[in-house]
Amino acid sequence: MTVRQEWSIKYRAAILERNPAFRLFRVTEANDAIQRRMGDQQTSDERRKLRNAVQALKVLRERMA
């Protein structure tokens, strides 16, 4: 069984959030969790996933503006 990383759970919550009142909070929370994880050691596959998640959150944040 794979244990989901905190960043992954928060990223998914941000992507799926439909309430505009909570969306920015979820995006910020996910980005913070990703940045914390980037400070740790990861596999190359996870590094790629982290970079992709950061990009997706950036696009989502731009669409909220």
pLDDT in tens, 8-50: 999 999 999 999 999 999 999 999 999 999 998 889 999 999 9
* Whole-angstrom distance, CA of residue 23 vs CA of residue 13: 9
How far is the CA of 13 from the CAs of 41, 43, 44, 51, 62, in angstroms?
Answer: 24, 23, 24, 17, 17
**54 pLDDT above the threshold of 90:** yes
pTM of the model as a whole: 0.88
CB 51 within 8 A of CB 37: no
Domain range annotation of the chain: 6-64
**3 pLDDT above the threshold of 70:** no
pLDDT of residue 28: 97
